[in-house]
Amino acid sequence: MDDNSLKVGSNEMELVDFRILKQEDDTVYEGIYGINVSKVREIIRVPALTELPGTPEFIEGIFDLRDVVIPVVNLAKWMGIVVPEGVEANSRVIITEFNNVLIGFIVHEAKRIRRISWSDIEPATFVSGSGSIDGSKITGVTKIEGDNVLLILDLESVVQDLGLYEPDVDNAPQEIETFKGLALVLDDSATARKIVKEALIKMGFHVVEAMDGEEGLAKLEDLYSTYGEDLSDELKIIISDVEMPKMDGFHFAANVKDDPRFNKVPIVFNSSISDHFSEGRGLEAGGEAYLVKFQASSFYDEVARVVRAHMK
């Protein structure tokens, strides 16, 4: 389950296509969802689970996977949908890892792996929801065969809502090193941008924001129009997410490093993808560091280190 064949900067991703079935009256509807392969450890049959008293019904329980205790969330129950009879026989658990946390999600079918260009993925701003799922839990949508629509589910947001993961925003150093100048932040999540922006402001930066790689490049063009050849002296650092519609962080970085106007500005990736392969891809794409969202102590330390090195 890796994407070693993906070329850094290709602006492509691989998704695990999975399905959730819903019954309304006598009709069964199939919801088509996806999750980045980089966040998938493995896909297994539903194991024997130990129930946890006092937890919501959509948390089915926990199980031991090679000496690691993993909580399991039933996505259909979390969505509050009526499930057709008999689908449990084909159900699978997708074991995910993001933000250094392992969590299992029960789905009705794991269909296939799809390779999709980020340019074909639209932001989910127009999605009001699918069934009873909150549209804010969808990070992007893309069309597949038969004019069907695949929804990229924001599992990190789901997990935060369930209280299974919280960003470490308070464990900052007692003394935060401060700088002057600009910082550019790219992230399609308004919540993530807010966390990073507040941290950078504490470090003394004036923050410019972008929602994806395309907007990030446009912001760089605007900054160059203002500062010209002095831009690399004013713009001290770029903090970029990896998974973003239209243009992902790796493709954005490849464009930045290919442009002599911008290639001196250091890039730090800040992503929920916590596998070592993605970290290597980030460095290959031109990043000076790769951070896992959001761990305050490492964020402040790494940003300060990278900016100091850039100023020499």
Residue 195 three-state SS: helix
Residue 169 placed within a domain: no
d(CA 242, CA 247): 9
Q: What is the pLDDT of residue 128?
A: 46
Residue 35 three-state SS: strand
290: containing domain: 182-311
Q: What is the pLDDT of residue 7?
A: 62
Q: What is the DSSP letter of 180?
A: -
The count of residues in the chain is 312
Q: What is the pLDDT of residue 11?
A: 84
For the stretch 129-138, what's the b/e string if a residue is b when 16 or more beta carbons lie within 10 angstroms of its beta carbon?
A: ebeebeebbb
Q: What is the pLDDT of residue 130?
A: 45
CATH number of the structural domain spanning residue 96: 2.40.50.180
Answer yes or no: do 214 and 252 share one domain.
yes
Residue 3 placed within a domain: no
> How many independent structural domains does the chain possess?
2
Asked if residues 172 and 304 have their Cβ atoms less than 8 Å apart, the reply is: no
Q: What is the pLDDT of residue 125?
A: 62
Contacts of 260 (CB under 8 A, 6+ apart): none
pTM for the structure as a whole: 0.82
Residue 168 placed within a domain: no
Residue 243 three-state SS: coil
Contacts of 198 (CB under 8 A, 6+ apart): none
Q: What is the pLDDT of residue 274?
A: 84
Residue 194 placed within a domain: yes
Q: Which of 131, 162, 193 is the last residue of a domain?
A: 162
Q: From the first residue on, what is the mean pLDDT of each consecutive set of 10 residues in the chain (312 residues)? A: 55 91 89 92 95 88 94 90 82 91 93 92 62 66 91 81 75 88 94 92 97 96 97 96 91 95 96 85 92 89 94 79
CATH number of the structural domain spanning residue 213: 3.40.50.2300
Answer yes or no: do 113 and 220 share one domain.
no
Q: Which of 258, 194, 262 is nearest to 232 (CA)?
A: 262
Q: What is the pLDDT of residue 2?
A: 43
Burial of 163 by CB count in 10 Å (0-12 exposed, 13-18 middle, 19+ buried)? Answer: exposed
